[in-house]
Amino acid sequence: MLTREENELLVRTGPGTPMGSFMRRYWVPALFSEALPEPDCAPVRVKLLGEKLVAFRDSSGRVGLFDERCPHRNASMFFGRNEENGLRCVYHGWKFDLEGNCVDMPSEPPESNFKRKVKIEAYPCVERGGIVWTYMGPPEQKPEVPDFQWAEVPASHRFATRHIQECNWFQAFEGGFDVSHLAFLHKGDTPDGGIRTLPKYYETATTDYGFVSGSGRDLEAGKTAWGANIMAVPFHKIIARPGDVPIGVHAWVPIDDENCMIYSIEYRPHRPLNDEEMEASREWRYIHAETEPGGDHCLRNLANDFMIDRELQKSGKSYTGLKGFGIQDCGIQESMGPISDRTREQLGTSDIHIIQLRKFMLKTLKDFMAGVTPPGLKADMYRVRSAAFVLEKGETFAKHAPERVRLDVPAMAK
Amino acid sequence: MLTREENELLVRTGPGTPMGSFMRRYWVPALFSEALPEPDCAPVRVKLLGEKLVAFRDSSGRVGLFDERCPHRNASMFFGRNEENGLRCVYHGWKFDLEGNCVDMPSEPPESNFKRKVKIEAYPCVERGGIVWTYMGPPEQKPEVPDFQWAEVPASHRFATRHIQECNWFQAFEGGFDVSHLAFLHKGDTPDGGIRTLPKYYETATTDYGFVSGSGRDLEAGKTAWGANIMAVPFHKIIARPGDVPIGVHAWVPIDDENCMIYSIEYRPHRPLNDEEMEASREWRYIHAETEPGGDHCLRNLANDFMIDRELQKSGKSYTGLKGFGIQDCGIQESMGPISDRTREQLGTSDIHIIQLRKFMLKTLKDFMAGVTPPGLKADMYRVRSAAFVLEKGETFAKHAPERVRLDVPAMAK
Amino acid sequence: MLTREENELLVRTGPGTPMGSFMRRYWVPALFSEALPEPDCAPVRVKLLGEKLVAFRDSSGRVGLFDERCPHRNASMFFGRNEENGLRCVYHGWKFDLEGNCVDMPSEPPESNFKRKVKIEAYPCVERGGIVWTYMGPPEQKPEVPDFQWAEVPASHRFATRHIQECNWFQAFEGGFDVSHLAFLHKGDTPDGGIRTLPKYYETATTDYGFVSGSGRDLEAGKTAWGANIMAVPFHKIIARPGDVPIGVHAWVPIDDENCMIYSIEYRPHRPLNDEEMEASREWRYIHAETEPGGDHCLRNLANDFMIDRELQKSGKSYTGLKGFGIQDCGIQESMGPISDRTREQLGTSDIHIIQLRKFMLKTLKDFMAGVTPPGLKADMYRVRSAAFVLEKGETFAKHAPERVRLDVPAMAK
């Protein structure tokens, strides 16, 4: 249970809000590279952290991301012409390059130097792992681009989708660290038949990029088996999955305070995904969710009750009657309302990871507001992935987990 | 014409409002029994007096009605599993019985007693006359279930529908006691060809359940013919209809402040409805209104101008060009806006029943707020129905009407 | 760039606002005459300056325009019966004539004189040029009906359409006086192949009906060619078009603060429009915009990105990929948002006409609020049209333009 003020701190990400200012210190996924398939192709609308923007790919193949509104008289740059290394507003022909400079202003007399005074708000972009990332914060504080393994592997090793979730980003983010729901919400839908036992231990180890979140189960002879999920600021997760399966990844990027874009990625560090691995994803059985053709809205959504199949739910073959992990998570999290009212919750011991996530974010935010340098500003901090390992009696998760999830340590060590 | 404050008093029914607190002292129709056709069937959403709820039928066949939100973390119980005598949230498996007790909390360790501290807000339900009624008020003040005749007769004697009216409940309630509109709005659509003369006298007699509202017309030799409608708190009406026809009943139940659910019932006290009687209802010519398949929204609604037939209206065969009494009432009442602005009205002598209804409700509400026991808390107070009778010169409606509408008095006495 | 206060002054037109009070001093286009095709036809809804109204044509063929709400109990007069010289509310049969008098009140006893006390708010109407005009201001200040030439010519000489633009009226009005956009937004879509050079001079000459707005281009030997557009209060424009083409006219009438109705008219003063002239209009290539069948909403609209054809835009055959001048203007102006934020603009020298329009309106409004008689209250002040003419060195636009646009002066004088 949170106070109203704490809840507001966590959920608001618009310009000038504490969480919004914090998130603007990081590189943020803005869109798939393939949405801008070639130089000088049509611009696309992007909404991030409450800001309306337009993305385009210039003649050199580089990506620009602008304020949607032309600084002249607010016309939308979405209708603009993507011409030789710049996007041109169609109202009066003002043209801007991807740094936001006005490079042509044909409506003014040739001798005018007005164009040198005019800039459009532009955010720098980079492309990594098939995604255009942008940095919306103070230029002088631009950090390194996070060095996620999934973004470094060849495209053949990776399968990525995105979809809109119609609720606040933090609701979805919390869902990613809610361990106990795995034994219920997704029951019947896991590859192993759906029985996922509850962990006995819930631990968290703070790191320089966020934290490692561990679920422990007793083995024989005082040994404990741990699954370790990664939480990387500001909204990333690398999922610990049992068995020899691809690594799963999520980023929950705020669109505005009542919608977020979920990027869902599966990858193999060292080989292409094979046909079997692709099948589950293509049938929307795992973390991905089917969207309407050409868009990011889920085919199964709040307006149609996520197409719940009550017969299937009744049969017990699926706990929910909802198709696929992705929609199960989406569905239950959206059902809490656009912004969940955390002042009326009742949390138990199995919610400890949720509590730890909130504490971490509130503490980090408070430090940030007090001037402390935020975590995760170096690229190599992100060279981690989820892991599963066994610890002997007397060994603590907090001591071992941060090392075990490093890329240079085998992922499933005994 | 009312003041803004009076208008607000009458129209607001959410938790904590005066009218909302008043209504919560009565049993309220929540849904049709048949919407929960069998034990452990799928739960359904219910919205009542501004509260989002979920109804379900448990394994024993009893009906439960809950807060839609799981007390754990606000997930919607609508997506829940209706299992052995309880509804289970699919997020973490918390299960609640129909008293709102948490009877299983599998996400917590077996030794935990946390579940004993957790309750979901649950409202008691009873089933009468094919309808699930609920009581949303203080448990210690739960009244008797009203003993309406229509709810006591066999199902064969009764025809009941419901539909959503897209405006405030009180607007619709007022319509039920507006006598003079019968001569206009419904002209051309009554079984007798549509001519309904205006009454000469408008009287009201207060009773222990509300009031009897009388319309009088002079007969020969100083006799007066009276039609007597029943107003029973908080939102019931039994309709006085001329001729040997089934008795008509309405309840206008607030969904929220801009929508209400109209329950419309026709019944014969002593025999099944026959084919002729059913035909008018099935063709939507009388008080019922056709809804979209599987839902409660009217097929003819504000968005499509209630499918007004201007040719028919022009012809004079129908005064309005709207099909059926139900849609004529709905249509004209919704056309006043979601909440009618009663500060700008101009009322005449034929509006006396409207004025009396408002005065009665405002007075009753004021008394209620001052601690006076509200009317209608005993079951047998409701053993009344509409009536038609003739009074001799010198006899007053106020003196005779309350007795004439009692069930143990013949309905159409001379 | 304006202050927030100035912006509010210009855009708000509801009852009681400064601009709303100003506009209510003029005759305002309300609907096409043909929308009320015959005496006693069905009434239609009209929304003007934020007011919900109902228009009808009475038995004598005259047009009435009312408050949508019956003064009795707020029922919508839209559902009313249009009977012998009056519109009758179907709820209780109250009937009003086009002056707003209650001429029948059958729900009240015959001896009642209540109807004499009741009036519905009614606005006087006249029909000119195929349009119903209304006056919504103080009766004692009713001005003469503007004597526009396009409204005086025979119907065969004129082609008129209207469509809704989903943004504030002033945004659209400004667009009408934005000269420099012609060289960009509409490029490729003008009859002469689309090249429209930028003017060198921007001048404005204030008149008794508004102002003349001139664009000047140098000719040989110190001569200047001028195009002169008419701005007539409160929202009219007569368009200066090069070549021997019909005269174009717009009126941007506020529906509410986020929508306006654009009336678009082409006419020939002295002869019928011929087939060639009609063809461009019928194919929506010029100022008209195609609407959904039976309605005023554009087929190409904000929700479908105005059906932008990116291939066509890329090809350069059309600058925008939007079909027709009308939609190009609509599209770019709506893209600024429902109410453009003029506090964040950056205006150049080519925006001088926009600046002059704002200054004129703000000055006129300030004078009006201080009690100064507003311009344009005499019919014959409007006997002007756009013009093109050449001035010799030393002659000023301000001196000559007001006379050159008078109807009694040849339009294209040397």
At residue C379, what is the residue type? A
Nearest in space to C213 (alpha carbons), one of C350, C395, C401 = C401
Percent of chain C with pLDDT over 70: 97
Question: How many percent of chain C have pLDDT more than 90?
Answer: 88
**Which residues does chain A have within 8 Å of residue C340's beta carbon, measured at their own beta carbons?**
73-74
User: Would strands B131-135 and B236-239 be described as parallel, antiparallel, or unpaired?
Assistant: unpaired
pLDDT surpasses 70 at C413: no
- Could you tell me the pLDDT band of residue A58, with boundaries at 50, 70 and 90? very high
Strand-pair partners of C361: none
Here the tokens at position A59 are 């003649």
Asked if residue B282 has pLDDT above 90, the reply is no
pLDDT at A197 over 90: no
State which residue of chain A sits closest to B82, comparing Cα positions. A314
Q: Do B109 and A181 touch (CB under 8 A)?
A: no
Spatial distance between the Cα atoms of C119 and C339, rounded to a whole number of angstroms: 35
Using the predicted structure, report yes or no on whether residue C398 has a pLDDT greater than 60: yes
Q: Is the pLDDT of residue A193 over 50?
A: no
Q: CA-CA distance, A322 to B88, in Å (whole number)?
A: 15
- Chain B residues with CB within 8 Å of chain C CB: 178, 180-181, 183-185, 198, 305-306, 308, 310, 313-314, 319-320, 322, 331-333, 335-337, 340-342, 344-351, 354
Chain A residues with beta carbon closer than 8 angstroms to that of B107: 180-181, 183-184, 198, 348, 350
Mind listing the pLDDT tens digit for each residue in C56-74? 999 999 999 999 999 999 9
Percentage of chain B exceeding pLDDT 70: 97
Report the residue from A180, A313, A331 with minimal CB separation from B81.
A313
Mean per-residue pLDDT, A140-166: 97
Whole-number CA gyration radius for chain A: 23
**Distance set, CA A288 to CA A280, B86, B98 (Å):** 9, 32, 36
Handedness of CA B36, B40, B45, B49 (dihedral sign): positive
Give the tens place of pLDDT for each residue, C105-163: 999 998 999 999 999 999 999 999 999 999 999 999 999 999 999 999 999 999 999 99
pLDDT of residue C346: 97
| Confidence band, pLDDT 50/70/90 cuts, at residue A376 | very high
> Is the Cβ pair A112, C348 closer than 8 Å?
yes
Note the Cα B219 to chain centre separation in Å.
34
Closest CA to C393 of C273, C158, C221: C221
pLDDT digits (tens, 9 = 90+) for A239-291: 988 788 899 999 999 999 999 999 999 999 999 999 999 988 888 878 899 99
DSSP assignment of B173-203 equals: HHHHT--GGGGTTTTT-STT-S--PPPSEEE
Q: What is the pLDDT of residue C414?
A: 44
Q: Read off the tokens for C408.
A: 């009694």
CB B317 within 8 A of CB B311: no
Q: What is the pLDDT of residue A289?
A: 95
- The model's pLDDT over B167-220, given as tens digits with 9 standing for 90+, comes to 999 999 999 999 889 889 998 776 554 456 788 999 999 999 999 999 999 998
Position A357: which residue type? L
Give residue C18's Cα distance to chain centre: 19
In B68-108, at which residue ranges do the beta strands (DSSP E only) sit?
81-83, 86-88, 95-96, 102-104
- Three-point CA angle B78, B81, B84, nearest 5°: 130
Per residue in C253-273, pLDDT (tens digit) is 999 999 999 999 999 999 999
Amino acid at A99: E
Contacts of B112 in chain A (CB under 8 A): 348-349
A374: left (phi over 0), alpha (psi -120 to 50) or beta: beta
Q: Quick one: tokens of C259?
A: 């929508």
Interatomic CA distance for residues A325 and C123, integer angstroms:
61
- Show Cβ contacts of residue C283 under 8 Å, excluding neighbours closer than 6 positions: none
Q: Report residue C40 CA to chain centroid gap.
A: 28
pLDDT over 80 at A113, yes or no: yes
What local confidence, expressed as pLDDT, does residue C191 receive?
56
* Average model confidence (pLDDT) across chain A: 94
What is this structure's pTM?
A: 0.95
Mapped onto helix, strand or coil, the DSSP state of residue B351 is helix
> CB neighbours of C206 closer than 8 A, spacing ≥ 6?
C360
Q: How far is C141 from A165, CA to CA, in rounded Å?
A: 57
Residues of B in contact with C114 (CB under 8 A): 348-349
Residues 6+ apart with CB under 8 A from A273: A156, A157, A158, A159, A246, A266, A267
Contact A336, B70 (CB under 8 A): no
Mean pLDDT score, B333-349? 97
In A68-200, where do the E strands start and end? 81-83, 86-88, 95-96, 102-104, 122-123, 125-128, 131-135, 158-165
Q: Is A254 within 8 Å of A260 (Cβ atoms)?
A: yes
Nearest CA in chain A to C344: A71
Chains touching A, CB cut-off 8 Å, 3+ pairs: B, C
pLDDT at C410: 73
pLDDT-based confidence at residue B412 (cuts at 50, 70, 90): low
How confident is the model over B222-246, as a mean pLDDT?
A: 92
Q: How far is B335 from chain A (nearest CA, A)?
A: 27
Beta strands at C63-67 and C81-83: parallel, antiparallel or unpaired: unpaired
- The mean-pLDDT minimum among B202-206, C92-96, C185-189, C389-393 falls in C185-189
Q: For all residues of chain C together, what is the average pLDDT?
A: 94
Q: How far apart are CA C238 and CA C405, in angstroms?
A: 10
Residue A283: the pLDDT is: 85
* Structural tokens at position C355: 């600046």
pLDDT, tens digit, 9 for 90 and up, residues A203-251: 999 999 999 999 999 998 889 999 999 999 999 999 988 788 899 999 9
Chain C residues whose beta carbon lies within 8 Å of the beta carbon of residue B218: none
- Give the separation between CA A58 and CA B399, rounded to whole angstroms: 89
